[in-house]
A and B are shown apart, each in its own frame.
Chain A
Amino acid sequence: MTASTPIPITPVMVAEHGLSPEEYARIQELLGRDPNLVELGIFSAMWSEHCSYKSSRPHLKTLPTEGPRVIQGPGENAGVVDIGDGLAAVFKIESHNHPSFIEPHQGAATGVGGIMRDVFTMGARPIALLDSLRFGDLDHEKTRYLLNGVVKGIADYGNCVGVPTVGGDIYFDACYKGNILVNVFCLGLAKADRIFLGKASGVGNAVLYVGSKTGRDGIHGASMASAEFDDATEEKRPTVQVGDPFTEKLLLEACLEIMKEDWVVGVQDMGAAGLSSSSFEMAERAGMGIELDLDAVPRRESGMNAYEIMLSESQERMLFVVEKGHEDDALAIFKKWDLDVAVIGRVTDDGIFRARENGAEVVNLPIKTVVTGALKCDRPTQKPAYLSEVGKLDLSSKEIPERGDEALKRLLASPTIASKQYVYEQYDHMVRLNTLVLPGSDAAVLRVPETRKALSLSVDCNPRYGYLDPYTGAQIAVAEACRNVACSGAEPVGVTNCLNFGNPENPEIMWQFQEAVRGLGDLCRFFDIPVVSGNVSLYNETKGEAIYPTPTIAVVGLMEDWSLHCTQGFKQAGHRIGLLGSTLEELGGSEYQKLFWNECRGRPPQLDPKTERAVQRLCLDLIRQRLIRSAHDCSEGGLAVALAESCFTGPKPLGADLVLSGGMRADALLFGESQSRIVISFSEDALPSIESLAKQAGVPFAVVGTAGGSKFQIKIDGNEFINEDILTLEDIWKHSLGLYGNRVAG
């Protein structure tokens, strides 16, 4: 088939391409004519929410993106932060939610592939992956299939390419039963003065296609990710791409090899909207034009037409621009790695994108119009009606348990809290020999090869807090990710975010989005941490039921001396246990509330940014002065769970003898999720120094007990509340998720 016979565009075709009549009228107005079918397809993909950020951009513009360390902020393939020694940390988080729900294995695998390409297109070698996953509740019939499929997809892809998956987080909540979330973060290391950008500059320079051949897979993936799901969603399976991690590995090595050359001008991954987005965006950034010969594009099957070639989302493909005269040098390097490669076009100076097929021009579009011309969506916002109802929580009507043993066991067994060993043992988390702190502590810590430095990584978001108050929920996500990094001994240097929400055409969802972005921006400004990259995933909604607002935050921290890293487990019997920060009577949005009262209501925990900062700084000081031997953030499940986890995760399991003073409901004291708290342990002789530093910092500090023995005991005001064998608790915590995941049926 050729495009030589123009097919008239009908309103039905416009609607099938996900464009509104207003958007189509704008296309006609901007072009001064009707587009042809190929051009309509390009507009459809490029103006989709996924590619154009048309709903989110006005809000994202408010985020702080600058700082003395920032080499590259948002707008490129990934963000870049200077870490000294001539090196830069390159990182980004991205979602692959919609494809992962439709086909969990390939959806998650290609999510891993895509984010790694975003990082190595910048000239960085990927050194670590994190995954932030959200699934429906365990009772839902598809949850086990989705969990195992996603985990296997991540493992198959990341393990094969040889990039360690060093951490992440997993939550289970019914709000995700129709829309799971798969957010993948990748960190790379590059020389600070060798960062590559997605720019097609230099008239006459060659445009090279490299990687897998183009097939018919994934056509309209970007449009699929920009619509709600319904009963026919599973029929969209053919729009999910299939990953080939082996080609990705070859592509990675070949790209890093070619990037040593001075004649590489620019590079971009062919991600969503494939050849269209990469060529249009690269030309737009450089203010140039591009002409492509589609007959030169390597194809997997014959008979593919221009429409399919321009919109295919086949994986593991990159677009390079190299200086003219160096085409053969480039081809030689890619051929060494057995990759398909071809010169498919040239950079021009007129700002027009032209594509030829069989010698005839099939696309002629002004680049700026396509890239920046999407209708600005100043979407209306409205405070959701549900908030006035769920905001009410009367604790006085709730019974206070006489003992906490059963509650603690149920919390430890909750898959959101239980050890994620079942998952991370399926991931290669050691390859490349940089992982100093293996999965299972607050943050993963990676050494920076050939320096004294280390980087610390954490990803976080509690969706229930965001449901009850998106502003506070987003702030807590940032605060907690930073707290995790501080507990490892590092100082946050950059943030990347993945904002997962429902349908933005619903004003209540748009309000959640606006509030979350405001919270994220306010806290990052207060903490003075730049947001250097990010991704937005909207339309996470099935039949009108949206997910809870989930602004996933990943934080990268830097420590100057890797030997000063800290982990969460108690190190030896006899060490004293202390708590930094204060506990309030807060149960709104907690895991305890959900498990025992089956509700999510009230206010989320308070967050006072000043207190949070003081606690984190104190924790860092204590680690740097080698005064403490462990530090662990209190989060889901509260103080009791944090204490128990520290008991399980040291060199060997240790019991603990803990004495608390009450002054509030016992369940709130032990299982409430008050923010800005860190459990620490230390040898007795460090106590005076810790007390005096805490006093100077104005941070509440209390000694709460001693590590050791075989029992986990907590007394409140002299009355025993919990007394359980530590190995029994550990067994529950360690195996709960695996027992669920490995169960064959039912």
Chain B
Amino acid sequence: MKCGIVVFPGSNCDHDCYHILKHVLHLDTQWIWHKDETLDTFDFIVLPGGFSYGDYLRPGAIARFSPIMKSVIDYANRGGRLLGICNGFQILVESGLLPGVLMDNAGQKFICKNLTLRVDNNQTPFTSQCRPGEVLKIPINHGQGRYYADDETLKRLVDNDQIVFRYCDAEGNTPETANPNGSLDHIAGIANQAKNVMGMMPHPERCADPLWPEVDGQTIFNSLIQSSLTPS
């Protein structure tokens, strides 16, 4: 099984994703340089977190024009599995692979902390190993993670089961206090209609190394591995 991690200038969670996929989960893991124009064959690709192009203009707004993105978009449109984490999610939104926008956090401050999210669709390649409604403990780390979409888009997301994760409390409920950044409908992660592309603000790679007691992030990578074993 082979996976790829795209390195944009300013990506900084690329090494962490690499560590988890290569050293913890023992996958054949390759770097994909942003200046490349063609893509090798991969079972899945990760757009990692960080500050691609310094987040200048808007997070993800410049990265979408990287030479590699044309191939990445083609890959996704052909059904390839694509996971965007944090800045990767922002790039997916900017490049039109996912709907909506990610705005400044409601509190106007960067937030780095552990929190809980609820799996609201476990029928995706990214969550197949999760129980329905399972509560995962995964940290967030962003300044612009407040998801927003217009009513029509939100309705479509709900109708198509595209909302994969919602911020919640430890019991899986969604009171206002469990929404760290003011995201619409507590949205923490969404998939495209075909469910082969997912973006999420929380960082599963930060809780997937058994060195720490919390390894809920492994569930997401394990789901990707399992679903890659069965042809899509």
Question: A interface vs B, CB < 8 Å?
Answer: 152, 155-156, 159-162, 244-247, 249-250, 337-338, 424-433, 436, 447, 562, 742
Contacts and interface: CB of A to CB of B under 8 A. Distances in A.
Contacts of B10: 160, 246, 249-250
Contact of B19 (A156, A159, A246, A433): A433
B112 interface: yes
A433 B209 contact: yes
Contact of A160 (B13, B55, B139): B55
B9 interface: yes
A152 B203 CA distance: 22
A433 B206 contact: yes
A425 B139 CA distance: 11
Interface in B171-224: 203, 205-206, 209, 211-212
Contacts, number: 75
Contacts of A742: 107
A249 B12 contact: yes
B123 interface: no
A692 to B, nearest CB: 32
B110 A155 contact: yes
A245 B56 CA distance: 11
Contacts of B206: 430, 433
Contacts of A425: 109, 111-113
A160 B56 CA distance: 11
Interface stretch (B36-44, B46-54, B71-79): B46-54
B16 A431 contact: yes
Interface of B: 9-10, 12-13, 15-16, 19, 50-51, 53-56, 107, 109-113, 139, 141, 143, 203, 205-206, 209, 211-212
B12 to A, nearest CB: 3
Given A426-B111, A427-B112, A160 B51 contact: yes
A428 B141 contact: yes
Given A160-B54, A425-B111, A433-B16, 6 more contacts: A152-B109, A159-B51, A159-B112, A160-B12, A160-B55, A562-B211
Nearest to B52: A246
A490 to B, nearest CB: 17
A426 B141 contact: no
A430 B51 contact: no
Contacts of A156: 110
Nearest to A245: B54
B139 A436 contact: no
Contact of A246 (B13, B56, B205): B56
6 contacts: A159-B51, A249-B51, A425-B111, A428-B110, A431-B13, A432-B15
A245 B9 contact: no
B9 A337 contact: yes
B60 to A, nearest CB: 14
B4 to A, nearest CB: 19
A432 B9 contact: no
A433 B205 CA distance: 9
A246 B141 contact: no
A571 to B, nearest CB: 12
Nearest to A247: B54
A248 to B, nearest CB: 9
Contacts of B9: 246, 249-250, 337-338
A433 B217 CA distance: 13
Contacts of A562: 211
Contacts of B113: 425
B20 to A, nearest CB: 8
Contacts of B107: 742
B111 A162 contact: no
Top 9 closest pairs, chain A to chain B, by CB: A162-B12, A246-B54, A160-B51, A426-B110, A428-B112, A433-B16, A155-B110, A425-B113, A428-B141
B211 A429 contact: no
Interface core residue of B16, B55, B107, B109 (most chain A CB under 10 Å): B109
Contacts of B53: 246
Contacts of A428: 110, 112, 141
Nearest to B111: A425
A434 to B, nearest CB: 9
A742 B111 CA distance: 14
Given A250-B9, A433-B206, A447-B211, A426 B54 contact: no
Contact of B51 (A152, A245, A426): A245
Given A430-B112, A433-B206, A244 B16 contact: no
Contacts of A159: 51, 110, 112, 141, 143
